[in-house]
Structure 1
């Protein structure tokens, strides 16, 4: 456990310039073996043939009907493929990959020997340079050194995700003099960055375009067949998708408990109607509340929402670091 782990939950507007996050709410599926790339190519929305060149791929893993088990960031780590994703959606994705993996030369398991530490800010970059002698960037998004991978994740806040075995990562965290926050802040930055952080109940509910995967280069429409491809392609070419992922912000002076399947209601004049489903959330000590939700894609920028179970807590849309226009 790092000595300077913070107990506070700061609002996104009050974060220090540099800090770190123990991201123990994410894990990874490890895929190895002679057929790793070819097997994943037939299962995932991203194009594995681009992994060597791009080093980092974003993708989704769907069922035959195009509903997502998981959204992930894919890298090569010590010759294995790692699908880094929220712990909430990992079990269902892992089960399905293992189910069909028996027909290929692959080994598929949860990489539960690994841990994840995210760093933000110039002091974070300086710490990584001191520890590893190099830092990834947009041109070279993954660097590896002594069994550790560092992944550059651009967004509302640029993050550097350190991936290593638990003992080594614990040593790295102990040497880090930055304030270190718990995993809830990772969720908050995913919300702000517009990258879906699926919980267990949301896995299997959404086609990739409903959570903006196409807007973060997470879908290849030219790679050929993969599980769920027909539905995903139909969404694009027939314009059938009517939902999108949004970030919302509100304020409350009370601690609010939000269930994984909680709903938002949309204000329509003096009335309220169903607005959408919450996927993840973060509440700061100051009372600021941030929510990631799937809403109608044509939601107006000035729309007002409230929690169905806490009707006095209202929300407005936050800006995302990308446009919803395709």
Structure 2
């Protein structure tokens, strides 16, 4: 795979947001599922931002530059997500805004300078010469570069980064799926994205109930196969039973794997489903997918 990624990858489908001000840490501690005290200039934080029912507005990758906290979020949700976050900022000295003076690009394989890879061997991020480097370990080492430099034109397409996120098991929350899923329905408890020891945050009661009282009955899966079309985000798939096809699941993301109709789909399904179950895009006889 390294030979494929000999140049940087576009992250145009993601947005960088800055949370600044003297109350930024205390404020975010009351809003996200993870413990902000774990965040530093050398340690990133993965978390969800939920409504008061525990349903996710988005997932966030947080990092720190000086006194400011930044997070990376899907661009399709950022306007609504910031608006929901800002509702609780009225009595805090914080400013939440999309970033205009920094850009983000992805580095994988041969595109990662060896000196950067070495510096990230025992930490998850660092800032040097006004450029922040963020390590993602799955499905192979990746680096997000946050830089004031303009983005070059010759980049690999966003879909290449999306495929890696699907393989890594990072849920993709786009606008069609906002405020519909608990974090555990997307396996965030397995991604070290939820702290069950920290204090209160928006949606905490429902997230805790899902964890300790079995209130969540769904999980996120990746299925692969062939299809002449990709399913729409937020739509359902069909799975085969003895009596025919039955509708089920929520599609989070989908990507083409090759030019021969190979596809990869991230979907939320009821737990306990038979892993030999065939799936297809709704109503499409030309698609077949399995776990």
Aligned residue for 1:94?
82
Aligned residue for 1:293?
267
Aligned residue for 1:10?
none
Task: Determine the C-alpha separation between the residues in 1 that align with 2:38 and 2:87.
Answer: 25
Aligned residue for 1:108?
96
Q: CA deviation at 1:164?
A: 1.6
Residue of 194, 199, 215 corresponding to 2:190: 215
Cα distance change of structure 1 residues 133 and 216 upon mapping to structure 2, 3 Å threshold: closer
Residue of 243, 252, 264 corresponding to 2:218: 243
Aligned residue for 2:253?
280
Task: Determine the C-alpha separation between the residues in 2 that align with 1:97 and 1:211.
Answer: 21
> Is the CA contact 2:172–2:252 (under 8 Å) kept in the aligned structure 1?
yes
Q: CA deviation at 1:82?
A: 1.0
Cα distance change of structure 1 residues 309 and 26 upon mapping to structure 2, 3 Å threshold: farther
- Cα displacement string for residues 263-305 of structure 1 (whole angstroms, at most 9, x for unaligned residues): 1111112411122011111113232111111111222222211
> Is the CA contact 2:226–2:261 (under 8 Å) kept in the aligned structure 1?
yes
Task: Determine the C-alpha separation between the residues in 1 that align with 2:131 and 2:32.
Answer: 25
Q: CA deviation at 1:312?
A: 2.4
1:119 aligns with 2:107: yes
Residue of 205, 209, 212 corresponding to 2:180: 205
Task: Determine the C-alpha separation between the residues in 2 that align with 1:105 and 1:16.
Answer: 45
Name the count of aligned residue pairs: 290
Range 74-83 or range 142-151, more displaced: 74-83
> Is the CA contact 1:117–1:169 (under 8 Å) kept in the aligned structure 2?
no
Note the 1:32-111 alignment, pairs <5 A.
32-52=20-40, 55-111=43-99
> Is the CA contact 2:41–2:125 (under 8 Å) kept in the aligned structure 1?
no
Cα distance change of structure 1 residues 271 and 49 upon mapping to structure 2, 3 Å threshold: same
Task: Determine the C-alpha separation between the residues in 1 that align with 2:157 and 2:49.
Answer: 27
Aligned residue for 1:186?
161
CA RMSD of aligned residues (A): 2.1
Task: Determine the C-alpha separation between the residues in 1 that align with 2:50 and 2:236.
Answer: 24
- Cα displacement string for residues 162-214 of structure 1 (whole angstroms, at most 9, x for unaligned residues): 1123xx152xx57xxxx841111111111111101111010111010001111
Could you tell me which runs of 5 or more consecutive residues in structure 1 were left unpaired when the two chains were aligned. 1-12, 318-326
> Is the CA contact 2:40–2:63 (under 8 Å) kept in the aligned structure 1?
no
> Is the CA contact 1:302–1:316 (under 8 Å) kept in the aligned structure 2?
yes
Task: Determine the C-alpha separation between the residues in 1 that align with 2:117 and 2:42.
Answer: 21
1:24 aligns with 2:24: no
> Is the CA contact 1:260–1:278 (under 8 Å) kept in the aligned structure 2?
yes
Note the 1:124-273 alignment, pairs <5 A.
124-125=111-112, 127=113, 129=115, 135-137=119-121, 139-165=122-148, 168-170=149-151, 173=152, 180-252=155-227, 254=228, 256-273=229-246
Task: Determine the C-alpha separation between the residues in 2 that align with 1:128 and 1:118.
Answer: 15
Q: Secondary structure at the match of 2:263?
A: strand
What's the TM-score once normalised by structure 2's chain length?
Answer: 0.93
Cα distance change of structure 1 residues 14 and 147 upon mapping to structure 2, 3 Å threshold: closer
Q: CA deviation at 1:220?
A: 0.2
